[in-house]
Amino acid sequence: SGDITAASVEDLTKQLRHIDRRVRLNAQWELASRGETKPLIDIASATDLEARFRLHGIWGCEHAVRLDGSKQADVLAANRGWLTDSDPVIRAAACALAGDRNDAESVAKISELLADESPRVKYFAAMSLSELLTSQAGNASANQQAIGSVLQILAENDNDDPALRHACTFFLRRVASEDMLAGLATHSSVPVRRAAIAALRGQGSEKVTAFLSDASSLVLAEAAMAIHDRPIPAGVDELAKLILVADLPLNSEALLRRVLAANYRIGTADSAAALASFAASGEKP
């Protein structure tokens, strides 16, 4: 109790080990506001403690650096060590800090963490690299290596972990080129192709039309949603033409609704005729 602003650094350091998270947070914020990064680095590096205590050190360091950039060199030097910590929670937090503070020296190690055994670490590694690899020039080799790792994560994840899928898709949107993403239309993995479409959707690229001849109804629906919902006007004509495809998947409502809407949006005589033919067919839902 009492005025925490009057507490000594020693007392605040002890409070970082308190059982109550509220006490730890107050101590973390006060130390950060004073620029006292040493006790924060020490607590984050204390491998004898549980991650719930050590995280306050990492969070406090990031806070302190935001307030005073002169603290960044020491914090990032310590953070590079946390990237190899035995605790996956700490490795993940270190990835986040490196990305937030644009630490170019951490790129190689974080790229390796894309193969970490922990999904949490993979998530934060992908999110961190989505910042680091777009904020630096001359990283073509690093980009290609990281992209390959991300594609592997997507294929192995097989849409099981939505958070991991999001991180990988966000990474592709930020780092991969339109041409590279369009080239994934021939990739053997459905989750990879769907992620490529989502990334192209985020970029607003008309090259999403490369996926409109896919054999998977899931991929077709993803491409249709990208074109119709964002929208991507340059792809509407190609989307509308799917109404003429004989083996168009009729079990995908998401796809059918958007194909029909594309024809309605175009409003030409041909699209009107196609809609009328579709409506008159007894085989259509």
Q: What is the pLDDT of residues 62-91, one digit of tens each?
A: 999 999 999 999 999 999 999 999 999 999
pLDDT at 136: 64
Query: Residue 194 pLDDT > 80, yes or no?
Result: yes
The average confidence (pLDDT) of the chain is 96
More confident residue, 143 or 82: 82
- What number of other Cβ atoms are within 10 A of residue 266's Cβ? 17
Outline where 68-176 has alpha helix (H).
Answer: 72-82, 88-100, 107-112, 119-132, 140-157, 162-175
Query: Residue 254 pLDDT > 90, yes or no?
Result: yes
Domain-by-domain residue ranges, the chain? 207-285
Query: Residue 149 pLDDT > 60, yes or no?
Result: yes
Share of the chain above pLDDT 70, in %: 96
pLDDT at 138: 55
**What token pair was written down for 181?**
């993403």
How would residue 282 be classed by pLDDT, with cut points 50, 70 and 90? confident
pLDDT at 81: 99
Query: Residue 200 pLDDT > 60, yes or no?
Result: yes
Please give the Cα distance from 49 to 42 (Å, whole number). 11
- CA end-to-end distance (rounded Å), the chain: 68
- What average pLDDT does this structure show over 182-199? 99
pLDDT at 165: 98
pLDDT at 140: 74
pLDDT at 246: 86
Outline where the chain has alpha helix (H).
Answer: 9-15, 21-34, 37-44, 51-67, 72-82, 88-100, 107-112, 119-132, 140-157, 162-175, 178-183, 190-203, 217-229, 236-240, 253-266, 269-280
Any long-range contacts for 47-51 (C-beta under 8 Å, 24+ apart)? 47/85, 47/86, 47/87, 49/17, 51/87, 51/89, 51/90
- What average pLDDT does this structure show over 13-31? 98
- What average pLDDT does this structure show over 201-214? 98
**What token pair was written down for 141?**
């080799």
pLDDT at 281: 85
Torsion of CA 202, 207, 213, 217, to 10 degrees: 0
- What average pLDDT does this structure show over 238-253? 92
